[in-house]
Amino acid sequence: MPWIPKTADMPLLEVNNLRTSFHTNDGEVYAVNDLSFSVEKGETLGVVGESGSGKSQLVLSIINLLASNGQLQGSIRFQGQELVGMKPKEINRIRGNRIGMIFQDPMTCLNGYLTVARQMTEVLMHHQGLDYASAKKCSIEMLDAVHIPDAKNRIDRYPHEFSGGMRQRVMIAMALLCQPDLLIADEPSTALDVTVQAQIIQLMNELQQEFGMSIIMITHDLGVIAGISDNVMVMYGGRICEQAPVFELFDNPRHPYTLGLLQSVPRLDTAGSAKLHSIPGNPPNLLRLPPGCAFVDRCQKGIPVCDQKQPRLREISPEHRVACHLEELP
Amino acid sequence: MLRYSFRRLLGAIPTLLILMTLAFFMMRMAPGGPFDTEKSLPPEIQANLDKKYHLDEPLIQQYGRYLLDVVRGDFGPSFQYKDYSVNELIATGFPVSLRLGLSAIAIALVVGVGLGTIAALRQNSSADYTVMTLAMTGISIPNFVLAPILILVFAVYLGWLPAGGWNDGAFKNTILPIIGLALPQIAYISRLMRGSMIEVLRSNPIRTARAKGLPERVVILRHALKPALLPVVSFLGPATAAVITGSVVIEQIFGIPGLGRYFVQGALNRDYTLVMGVVVFYGILIILFNFIVDLVYAMLDPKVRYS
């Protein structure tokens, strides 16, 4: 995995103090809390966290696809353009064109009432003004690129005539049609068989080399993260608890939550009888986040200050940021 | 496809047979007969009439005779409308009801789908509440209240349209009855459409379509409309069959020579053949329209394919 150094010029995506909240009958739910990070050109950022950590809402926030009761605060700059508060017409010029998006469940995310050809060509016809024939030609080429056999004939089929892995390939091809600068993948392999998962991750690696886009990869699978990311961001309770280059994170995890996640991965090289580690407790309720560290109830290394004060995200070595009070101890 | 259609229509025969049997014996179980009047007829005349219409035969023989007639496409003579066969009565009444019914359903479909979609897109806005309140009102006002109000407003006060009569099917005479037939259907369809559209708009494929940066118009018309229409299509099958066979109330109030009135008059007069005729005819239409619904489903949803 090539390590891409941060360049002096503007990052592709820059998120600052992003807050995403949902207005519900029970009160405000804070899914993303004061998040700041950036993605460089060609970089792959892995975002890990368990269900309810806010990772999916984070990416939906980026392309402004929140549910109607969702609210965005803060700043999201993509290629220098502010996306927060952008008019629907303008953001539609970026969605599907400069930012491609792949969703978790390929079985339900394609439109079952339209042929694959229709769903792919409409992207090119809308964003690039191609006519149907040339849009279809490009679409077939893209299906070839994601290794769908007999793409020329199968493009006229409906999604239900494809297997799960093939449908996810169609989704990927569709997201890449306009050769976006950023590809957002929300758990693209989670709903698939393990062998198919590996193929999809490998395919994404391959496509990134070919097209050179940046990727934000959301997953709860650390194996996937290790296989594809340059940088990793660990999310908990809607906040970043640790962010580091992938090797640094695996070699030198600092946050107790990251450590717990790494220990929870089943390994082949430990004694056969060893019990798999798990982090006790449940993720925090986003309706009532504690005043202190969100992880405090489940943390085995907690100190008194954890209950009272929220830990600050600090850079402990270049590119490695951690939000934990233990790091601030002398 | 052709084989599927053939099988489906063949499968309808037992349904029709059961329908005919039930209707035949229930009708005969009802007290009274077609020739009962205030003064009883002289026994000789009664016997002659019974003989002419085969009412003197055992019931099971009459039933067998009736089935054979129906297979030949003959619903028999009307007991009440002398000199008319049931076939003739249906042949004159049905085109009238069909024309009014089809117009009403077509209007209801377009307006109902449109209003329902608008309500869904502006969920919980004042437009949504207006449409839904109107729909609820439309469903709860019975047509014997609605029709006189229409007549009062458009015929009596404004004088724009005739208050009733058929006038050989002049366009002017059909407007009010069509509105009277269409309004309740508009109400049902818009409520159905709103519900299904809201559900579809929250679904994954729509999120994908939005993530592709398609304009809202394309998202709605190309991606959301088809799946959202399915419940409406299911509703339309039986609703069309019911509306094109005529509404008793609407045809009575507007004085229209349609099929609807035969349902009630036939039953009240114990006009056995007429009741049987309209029941079987209605049954055939219900089966036919449910079959059409299935075909439309296959057209809309590629996952439903018949072989």
pLDDT in tens, A62-92: 988 888 888 899 999 999 889 998 898 999 9
Q: Inter-chain contact A126–B214, Cβ cutoff 8 Å? A: yes
Rounded-to-integer distance, Cα A255 and Cα A244, Å:
11
Rounded-to-integer distance, Cα B222 and Cα B216, Å:
10
Q: Inter-chain contact A97–B209, Cβ cutoff 8 Å? A: no
Say how many CB pairs under 8 Å bridge A and B. 77
Burial of B39 (0-12, 13-18, 19+ CB in 10 A): exposed
CA distances from A71 to A317, B199, B203 (A): 34, 21, 20
Q: Tell me the chain A residues in contact with residue B208 when contact means C-beta distances shorter than 8 Å.
A: 101, 103, 109-111, 171
ipTM attached to this prediction: 0.86
Q: Tell me the chain B residues in contact with residue A167 when contact means C-beta distances shorter than 8 Å.
A: none
pLDDT top residue among B64 and B8: B64
What pLDDT digit, counting tens, does each position of B181-205 carry?
999 999 999 999 999 999 999 999 9
Q: Tell me the chain B residues in contact with residue A109 when contact means C-beta distances shorter than 8 Å.
A: 204-205, 207-208
Q: Residue A306 pLDDT more than 90?
A: no
Q: Tell me the chain A residues in contact with residue B226 when contact means C-beta distances shorter than 8 Å.
A: 113
* Nearest residue, CB atoms, B204 vs list A96, A108, A122: A108
What pLDDT digit, counting tens, does each position of A41-69 carry?
989 999 998 887 888 899 899 988 888 88
Q: What's the pLDDT score for residue A135?
A: 94
Helix (H) or strand (E) holding A18: strand A13-24
Q: Residue B242 pLDDT more than 50?
A: yes
Q: Tell me the chain B residues in contact with residue A90 when contact means C-beta distances shorter than 8 Å.
A: none
pLDDT top residue among A16 and A297: A16
Q: Residue A107 pLDDT more than 90?
A: no
Q: Which of B34, B90, B23 is nearest to B271 (CA)?
A: B34
For residue A89, the chain B residue with the least C-alpha distance is B215
Spatial contact of A82 and A75, defined as CB atoms under 8 Å apart: yes
Q: What residues does each domain of chain A span?
A: 13-98+178-265+278-328
Q: Inter-chain contact B205–A105, Cβ cutoff 8 Å? A: no
Which residues of chain A have a Cβ shorter than 8 Å from any chain B Cβ? 63, 65, 67-68, 88-89, 91-97, 101, 103, 105, 108-115, 118, 122-123, 126-127, 158, 160, 171, 174
Q: Inter-chain contact A88–B216, Cβ cutoff 8 Å? A: yes
Q: Name the average pLDDT for chain B.
A: 87
Q: Inter-chain contact A95–B211, Cβ cutoff 8 Å? A: yes
Where residue B263 falls among pLDDT bands split at 50, 70, 90? confident
Residue B280 identity (one-letter amino acid)? V
What pLDDT digit, counting tens, does each position of A166-183 carry?
998 899 999 999 999 999
Q: Inter-chain contact B218–A94, Cβ cutoff 8 Å? A: no
What angle, rounded to 10 degrees, do the helices at B86-121 and B171-201 form?
Answer: 40
> Which tokens go with A177?
């049609």
Residue B180 identity (one-letter amino acid)? G
Where residue A273 falls among pLDDT bands split at 50, 70, 90? low
Q: Name the average pLDDT for chain A.
A: 87
Q: What's the pLDDT score for residue A1?
A: 41
Rounded-to-integer distance, Cα A176 and Cα A267, Å:
34
DSSP 8-state symbol, A325: G
What is the pairing mode between strands A44-48 and A214-219?
parallel
Q: Residue A266 pLDDT more than 80?
A: no
Q: Inter-chain contact B300–A95, Cβ cutoff 8 Å? A: no
Where residue A139 falls among pLDDT bands split at 50, 70, 90? very high
Q: What residues does each domain of chain B span?
A: 93-261
Spatial contact of B79 and B37, defined as CB atoms under 8 Å apart: no
> Which tokens go with A278?
């798990």
Q: Average pLDDT for residues B245-254, to the nearest whole number?
A: 85
Which residues of chain B have a Cβ shorter than 8 Å from any chain A Cβ? 123, 202-205, 207-216, 218, 222-223, 226-227, 300-303
Where residue A275 falls among pLDDT bands split at 50, 70, 90? confident
Q: Residue A6 pLDDT more than 60?
A: no
Residue A271 identity (one-letter amino acid)? A
Question: In this prediction, what percent of chain A has a pLDDT beyond 70?
Answer: 95
What pLDDT digit, counting tens, does each position of B9-44 carry?
888 889 999 999 998 888 888 887 777 777 777 888
Beta bridge partners of A82: A77
Q: Residue A133 pLDDT more than 90?
A: yes
Sign of the alpha-carbon dihedral angle for A86, A92, A96, A97: negative
Beta bridge partners of A35: A18
Q: Residue A270 pLDDT more than 80?
A: no
Spatial contact of B35 and B42, defined as CB atoms under 8 Å apart: no
Q: What's the pLDDT score for residue A2?
A: 45
CATH code for the domain defined by B93-261: 1.10.3720.10
Rounded-to-integer distance, Cα B112 and Cα B105, Å:
10
Where residue B6 falls among pLDDT bands split at 50, 70, 90? confident
Q: Tell me the chain B residues in contact with residue A173 when contact means C-beta distances shorter than 8 Å.
A: none
Reported pTM: 0.83
Chain A nearest C-alpha distance from B278 (Å): 39
Helix (H) or strand (E) holding B86: helix B86-121
Burial A53-73 (b: 16+ CB within 10 A, else e): bbbbbbbbbbbbbbeeebebe
Choose from B125, B212, B218 for mutation: most chain A CBs within 10 A: B212
* Nearest residue, CB atoms, A110 vs list B205, B214, B215: B205
* Nearest residue, CB atoms, A109 vs list B123, B205, B301: B205
Q: Inter-chain contact B302–A97, Cβ cutoff 8 Å? A: no
Beta bridge partners of A183: A100, A215
* Class level of CATH domain A13-98+178-265+278-328: alpha beta
Q: What's the pLDDT score for residue B45?
A: 83
